[in-house]
Amino acid sequence: MTPTSDPSLLVYGPRTEQLHEPLGVGEQHPRLSWKLRSERRGAAQSAYRITAAERADDLDASSRLLWDSGRRESGETLLIAWNGAALRSATRYHWRVEVWDETGAPGTPAQTWFETGLLTHDDWQAVWVGRDPHSAPPVEPPGDEDPDPSWGTPPLYLRREFELRDTPVRARLYATARGVYEPRLNGSRVGDLELAPGWTEYHRRVQYQSYDVTTLVREGRNVLGAIVAHGWWSGHIGFDPRRAAHHYGSEPAYLAQLVAEFADGSRQVVATDPDWTEHPGAIRAADLLMGQHVDARCEIPGWDTPEAVAAGRYQVAVLDHATGPLVAEPDPPVRVTRGVAAVAVRQRGPGRYIADFGQNLVGRVRLTVRGAAAGRRITLRHAEILADGDLYVDNLRRARAIDTYVTGGGQVEFFEPQFTFHGFRYVEIDNYPGDLQPRDVMARVLHNDVPRAGTFECSDPMINQLQSNIVWGQRGNFVAVPTDCPQRDERLGWLADAQIFAPTASRNADVSAFFARWMRDVIDGQDTDGAFRDVAPAVTIDREAAPAWGDAGVIIPWHLWRIYGDRRALRRSFGAMTAWVDHIRRHNPDLRWRRRTGNSYGDWLQIDVTTPRDLLATAYFARSTEIVVLSADALGLPEVAAEYRALHGGIRSAFIDSFVSADGRVEGGTQTGYLLALAFGLLPESLIPAAVGHLAAEVESRGARLTTGFVGTALLCPVLAEHGRTDLAYALLHQEEFPSWGHSIRHGATTIWERWDGWTEQSGFQSAAMNSFNHYSLGSVGDWLFGRVAGIDQTPGSVAYRELLLRPLPGGRLTWARAEQETARGRAECGWALADGRLTITAVVPPGTTALLEVPTSDPAGVREGGEPAAIRPGVLAVEPADAGALLHLASGHYVVSAAAPDTHTPPVSSRPVLFSRETS
Ligand code: RAM
């Protein structure tokens, strides 16, 4: 913590297109970013230089550089577009960034690389191959009951033998599937990706993956293979009882291209072509929702090696020659990121056990079986919850979530399905041979492997559990797309869920590339009238999106700009954003959004009340329009901004006329009604205090209980705290009586429930028709934990945390709280602790950024930093008195501020309200 311990400016975390050392970049002008670290106060980058070359050694040889930006006098560190020589396909590029600090001294540089994928259509020689319907039917497994035929045909085991004339110096595999696939090479699995190629709007884009296979190929005979299952392409998706055939295709297919490069620079390409064969293997059936059925007796040993016997193979059919539309996967893929051991295993009958992992999670189980005779059929059923000691599976609806393993007779056998996933805390294992030991059953957790970005903790264990539930909910629902739930027959990319949770998601992880990629699916789903769909990829629901759902198409690009500085995402989405707002305007010329509201879900899963739908809709119409104004300004389109600014003014007036009365009451009188009006700036200034009073009275009249659903909950604590009712915000946060976050935790929740009344003492389980125990939406309070309770936020005009707003909020029963946040520019931290009548705040402000730190204290004149009066300390640029404390302007660096504790009953410092609507001011 000593300010001078590391005087230098250090570059870390260099990334290309938001990713660390990506292998298959598909952009012609990828964007380069880095972060800065220094403990010296006021440290900042004053200049940078980027150099790039094809070989790392060439970075020092100026004649060999592909790009030399030269020294640029700039503090910019984010998303600088490649401006060097045109990029070639399948090529590695090394780049280095050197920086100079604000004194002109050089900092510590960083070096990294990226590799391009196949950048043009002509690079592809591969064709789509799949099962030939005219070839012989697959061999039936010996003496086994058939897997459920509704799961579709068995996965394809594809293989192709090839000869390499030499050992390559470099080999890459580019592969994808209409379905989900596991690539194989010479008997090994290639890479560690799961459920590739993910789920996109397949008619528009199929993602391919890039793998480094240099160490897996060899001179002479090789076998390239893959196992391909239905996945999202042709398996069950959503609640549509028909298989996905009705959305995409009926049978899976595969496309791959291996490029081997030899020392002399020559290349050899092996691609999917008519010479591939397919045969049935041990996986008899696999479906994302239903489960996986494996019969180990059907495994053909070494099928993906040159040594395998040739019997029982069929020639593939070439499905078509057109390869498009293939795009490089632009975001972190799905991986298994951890294993969770069983905390308890209980026997429930002969050979029947239930294992408890102590955590509701998403993935699958790895089971070890010892010494079983061949042909023993073991089933694994999954559930989030127990009822009377047995699995409660009613809430899975049509998702069966059953895996079956028929033993092959080995000494020790391992079973782990790879083409399905389940949401569960418990697994029931039936017909297990012998005693099931906890070490023989392990949960494997999978999700898009987005880098962890933040931590939050505080003195209240219940709130720490809430934060853990939020993080686990995020993990389990970031599987290919941001899903609503991971367990039942749904798992769709619901737009409202995503937009409501995005601010929290970006606290916990770097979701920049993940959301930018998904936004393309959101836009692909937009119809010619400008309407988005409720879900993306768009399946099942064929109507225009509802208020707060479709608005995600506007809110998320704006969020990517604000949090990550992703101007390109904003620019690429801007046309779709205005088209959405125009669509609402066109059908609602009186500027009250009442027509074309799709399924109009209102404040979804609100409790005991009904917030008027047209109020909610009109509030979102205003909010989306306001974001279009802000975005137009950010993109330098003043005329567009002016047009939508006028529209926004009109909607605001219409809202006030229709829904706000002269005494500050908002129609319906619900918490969410007030929250929307206050958060989105839809009240005349003079009526704000009265409206806050009505809102507070509503909450108090219920004994500090909430009534909010998906939409209102995100705003609840932020709005109350912003308007001086920290007491109520904390009372809601600490609440343990129904309905509250605490209620679910008191009843054992380890993830966020879909509904406040998912289970209650009074009524038991909610209707199984819709009752998920792992839905992140009501976890949207996480953004407030980071941004206000611990206090890491940014000022209204700031982009990518260039100007931090540190606002620790002592209150409730907390004695301390702290958060760390890897921002796009570097690590920020804010924490506070109350002890002996003093408040101590620790703050870390990344180089090149500044901070406004609000110090809530009863003695603003006595604020100290590092033990001395704050005003005389280096890095403290100014100290200003504020309402109930002091405001410190800080340069970058690490600080320890202390002050007399705040008066418990005074509202906190309110220097600059940062609610959404204030972004415009
Ligand atoms: C439910 C989903 C989702 C919600 C929609 C309206 O089925 O789980 O969370 O957005 O309904």
Name residue 844's beta-bridge partners.
829, 894
End-to-end CA distance of the chain: 36
User: What average pLDDT does this structure show over 721-738?
Assistant: 97
Say whether pLDDT at 373 is over 80: yes
> Which is nearest to 808 in space by CA: 895, 716, 869, 875?
895
Atom of ligand 1 nearest to the CA of 485: 8
> Which is nearest to 363 in space by CA: 244, 468, 479, 537?
479
pLDDT interval class at 883 (50, 70, 90): confident
Atom of ligand 1 nearest to the CA of 599: 6
519, 577 contact by CB (below 8 A): no
pLDDT at 139: 47
Which residue has tokens 């379905």? 179
> Backbone dihedral region of 262: left (phi > 0), alpha (psi from -120 to 50 degrees) or beta?
beta
Atom of ligand 1 nearest to the CA of 777: 9
Query: How many whole angstroms from 539 Cα to the centroid of ligand 1?
Result: 14
Q: Estimate to the nearest angstrom the gap between the alpha carbon of 439 and the chain centroid.
A: 31
pLDDT at 322: 75
pLDDT at 508: 98
- Tell me which residue has its CA closest to atom 5 in ligand 1: 494
Distance CA 240, CA 247 (A): 10
Active site residue 754: yes
Query: How many whole angstroms from 603 Cα to the centroid of ligand 1?
Result: 11
Q: At what angle do helices 710-722 and 495-508 cross, to 10 degrees?
A: 50
The per-residue pLDDT for range 48-88, each reduced to its tens digit, is 999 999 999 999 998 999 999 999 999 999 999 999 999 99
pLDDT at 247: 83
pLDDT at 916: 40
- Tell me which residue has its CA closest to atom 10 in ligand 1: 494
> pTM for this one?
0.96
DSSP 275: T
User: What average pLDDT does this structure show over 908-912?
Assistant: 45
User: Which residues, 6+ apart, have CB-to-CB distance to 896 below 8 Å?
Assistant: 1, 840, 841, 842, 865, 866
User: Which residues, 6+ apart, have CB-to-CB distance to 195 below 8 Å?
Assistant: 180, 231, 288, 334, 419, 421, 446, 479, 480
pLDDT at 911: 40
Listed in sequence order, the DSSP H helices in 737-792 are 741-746, 782-784
Query: How many whole angstroms from 552 Cα to the centroid of ligand 1?
Result: 14
- Tell me which residue has its CA closest to atom 4 in ligand 1: 494
Query: How many whole angstroms from 16 Cα to the centroid of ligand 1?
Result: 35
The per-residue pLDDT for range 125-155, each reduced to its tens digit, is 999 999 998 875 654 544 456 677 788 899 9
Say whether pLDDT at 161 is over 60: yes
User: Which residues, 6+ apart, have CB-to-CB distance to 66 below 8 Å?
Assistant: 52, 53, 54, 84, 85, 93
Say whether pLDDT at 378 is over 60: yes
Query: How many whole angstroms from 652 Cα to the centroid of ligand 1?
Result: 28
Say whether pLDDT at 622 is over 90: yes
Query: How many whole angstroms from 772 Cα to the centroid of ligand 1?
Result: 10
pLDDT interval class at 908 (50, 70, 90): low
Query: How many whole angstroms from 832 Cα to the centroid of ligand 1?
Result: 37
User: Which residues, 6+ apart, have CB-to-CB distance to 485 below 8 Å?
Assistant: 423, 477, 491, 754, 772, 774, 775
Torsion on CA atoms 772, 778, 782, 788, rounded to nearest 10: -170
Atom of ligand 1 nearest to the CA of 497: 10
Say whether pLDDT at 510 is over 70: yes
Within 6 A (CB) of ligand 1 lie: 484-485, 490, 494, 496-497, 601, 604, 770, 775
Atom of ligand 1 nearest to the CA of 601: 6
pLDDT at 898: 98
Average pLDDT, the chain: 94
Pocket probe for ligand 1: among 239, 397, 490, the residue whose CB has the most ligand atoms within 8 Å is 490
- Tell me which residue has its CA closest to atom 2 in ligand 1: 484
Distance CA 243, CA 740 (A): 38
Q: How far is CA 504 from CA 507, 735, 779, 790, 904, in A?
A: 5, 20, 8, 14, 28
285, 144 contact by CB (below 8 A): no
pLDDT over 90 for what percent of the chain? 91
Distance CA 896, CA 832 (A): 10
Say whether pLDDT at 7 is over 80: no
Active site residue 490: yes
Query: How many whole angstroms from 397 Cα to the centroid of ligand 1?
Result: 14
Backbone φ and ψ of 395, nearest 5°: -75, 0
| HEC assignment per residue over 318-347 | EEECCCCCEEECCCCCEEEEEEEECCEEEE
pLDDT at 324: 75
Query: How many whole angstroms from 604 Cα to the centroid of ligand 1?
Result: 8
The per-residue pLDDT for range 28-51, each reduced to its tens digit, is 999 999 999 998 999 999 999 999
Question: Catalytic one among 115, 428, 490, 854?
Answer: 490
Degrees, nearest 5: CA angle 774-784-521? 55
Pocket probe for ligand 1: among 497, 500, 535, the residue whose CB has the most ligand atoms within 8 Å is 497
Atom of ligand 1 nearest to the CA of 484: 9
Distance CA 560, CA 885 (A): 33
Question: Catalytic one among 754, 820, 865, 919?
Answer: 754
808, 908 contact by CB (below 8 A): no
The per-residue pLDDT for range 639-667, each reduced to its tens digit, is 999 999 999 999 999 999 999 999 999 99
pLDDT at 12: 98
The per-residue pLDDT for range 418-465, each reduced to its tens digit, is 999 999 999 999 999 999 999 999 999 999 999 999 999 999 999 999
On the question of a cis peptide bond just before residue 280, with omega within 30 degrees of 0, the verdict is no
Residue type, 358: G
User: What average pLDDT does this structure show over 796-820?
Assistant: 97
The per-residue pLDDT for range 842-870, each reduced to its tens digit, is 999 999 999 999 999 999 999 999 999 99
The per-residue pLDDT for range 174-189, each reduced to its tens digit, is 999 999 999 999 999 9
Pocket probe for ligand 1: among 237, 483, 484, 780, the residue whose CB has the most ligand atoms within 8 Å is 484
Query: How many whole angstroms from 561 Cα to the centroid of ligand 1?
Result: 26
Say whether pLDDT at 484 is over 60: yes
Pocket probe for ligand 1: among 477, 540, 604, the residue whose CB has the most ligand atoms within 8 Å is 604
User: Which residues, 6+ apart, have CB-to-CB distance to 401 below 8 Å?
Assistant: 289, 290, 291, 381, 382, 383, 393, 422, 423, 424, 487
Pocket probe for ligand 1: among 488, 494, 551, 616, the residue whose CB has the most ligand atoms within 8 Å is 494
- Tell me which residue has its CA closest to atom 8 in ligand 1: 484
Name residue 885's beta-bridge partners.
856, 882
Query: How many whole angstroms from 495 Cα to the centroid of ligand 1?
Result: 9
